[in-house]
């Protein structure tokens, strides 16, 4: 048996515009993904076998309630790997869960993508061969096959381009209001903006990417942050709206991640992050101080 352990990082969206709707019902996006240091952990012991034998164990503070059956994205990722490379596996997989679910942080997608990555390392396979299968598992899964921290996403989020970032990286204060926001419902409530307005917003993404490349300050590039899905969440989910309002009252640079429910704020220093995190703590909220890439500084 070969064993490997990898961190499965969460992500936030620094920019998210919905650019159209496809005939199959999926929405086209223009987004900037950023991986952060809040992570789940995947440990896989695996060998090739004549008969498939898969076992998934779920641990960690947020693992309760997750099913270790065929509905779990981790096991579906193992099956995708087996199908792509035409092999059967005997594998024991442990998923240590720290990323809240239904939070807009890509936890399930990261678990699946990191599972694919771990298996590729064990069996010396090219993970980019799995990009089409990763996209079928979920729109964000392909993101976690790349080593890069920042990636521009197009299509349904599966067309990915690594992004050069030279700007000083801020700390990220995440607040999860213990509210699950189903993505399907968010997109159902969304009204597509006019084509001209969508083009105007996507031009902001180009400005954001240029600003990050040019090593501009947080105050400069933060003016280009945007999430179209806020308008389909904030008026409908009180706990998320309250988070955003509380951050704004504290004059924080703030945005909802993905389709919610997590709202995050960016700070230049760890001291500012600690102060902001302390002020945002209320009953029913989970507060995390993280940064882009690397390991979590502090989990509260």
pLDDT of residue 161: 96
Cβ-Cβ contacts under 8 Å for 127 (sequence gap 6 or more): 116, 117, 120, 145
pLDDT of residue 196: 63
pLDDT of residue 185: 87
pLDDT of residue 295: 47
pLDDT of residue 294: 54
| Among 140, 152, 241, 246, the one annotated catalytic | 140
pLDDT of residue 289: 97
pLDDT of residue 142: 94
User: Would you write out the chain's pLDDT as a tens digit for each of its 300 residues?
Assistant: 899 999 999 999 999 999 888 787 778 899 999 999 999 999 999 999 999 999 999 999 999 988 899 899 999 999 999 999 999 999 999 999 999 988 999 999 999 999 999 999 999 999 999 999 999 998 899 999 999 999 999 987 778 999 999 999 999 999 999 998 988 889 889 887 766 677 668 889 999 999 999 999 999 999 999 999 999 999 999 999 999 999 999 999 999 999 999 999 999 999 999 999 999 999 999 999 999 985 443 333
Opening angle at CA 296, ends 36 and 270, nearest 5 = 90
Residue of 28, 23, 15, 8 whose CA lies nearest to 158: 28
Establish whether 251 is a catalytic residue.
no
- φ, ψ of residue 217 to 5 degrees: the values are -75, 165
Establish whether 246 is a catalytic residue.
no
| Among 11, 35, 152, 241, the one annotated catalytic | 11
Q: Which domains does the chain have, with CATH numbers?
A: 2-162 (3.30.230.10), 171-299 (3.30.70.890)
């Amino acid at each position: 048996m070969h064993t490997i352990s990898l961190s499965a990082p969460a992500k936030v969206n620094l920019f998210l515009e919905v650019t159209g709707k496809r005939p199959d019902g999926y929405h086209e996006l223009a987004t900037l993904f950023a991986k952060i240091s809040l992570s789940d952990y995947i440990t896989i012991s695996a060998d090739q076998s004549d008969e498939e034998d898969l076992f998934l164990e779920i641990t960690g503070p947020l693992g309760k309630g997750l099913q270790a059956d065929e509905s779990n994205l981790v096991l579906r990722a193992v099956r995708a790997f087996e199908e792509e490379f035409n092999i059967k596996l005997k594998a024991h997989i442990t998923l240590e869960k720290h990323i809240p679910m239904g939070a807009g942080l890509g936890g399930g997608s990261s678990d699946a993508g990191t599972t694919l990555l771990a298996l590729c390392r064990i069996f010396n396979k090219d993970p980019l061969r799995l990009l089409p299968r990763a996209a079928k598992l979920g729109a964000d899964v392909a993101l976690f096959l790349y080593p890069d921290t920042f990636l521009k996403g197009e299509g349904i989020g599966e067309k990915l381009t690594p992004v050069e970032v030279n700007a000083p990286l801020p700390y990220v204060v995440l607040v999860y209001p213990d509210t699950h926001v189903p993505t399907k419902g968010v997109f159902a409530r969304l009204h597509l903006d006019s084509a001209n307005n969508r083009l105007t917003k996507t031009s902001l993404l180009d400005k954001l990417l240029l600003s990050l490349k040019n090593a501009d300050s947080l105050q400069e590039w933060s003016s280009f942050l945007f999430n179209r899905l806020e308008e389909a969440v904030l008026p409908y989910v009180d706990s998320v709206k309250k988070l955003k309002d509380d951050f704004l009252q504290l004059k924080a640079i703030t945005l909802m991640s993905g389709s919610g429910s997590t709202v995050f704020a960016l700070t230049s220093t760890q001291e500012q992050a600690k102060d902001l995190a302390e002020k945002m703590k209320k009953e029913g909220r989970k507060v995390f101080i993280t940064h882009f890439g690397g390991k979590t500084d502090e989990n509260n």
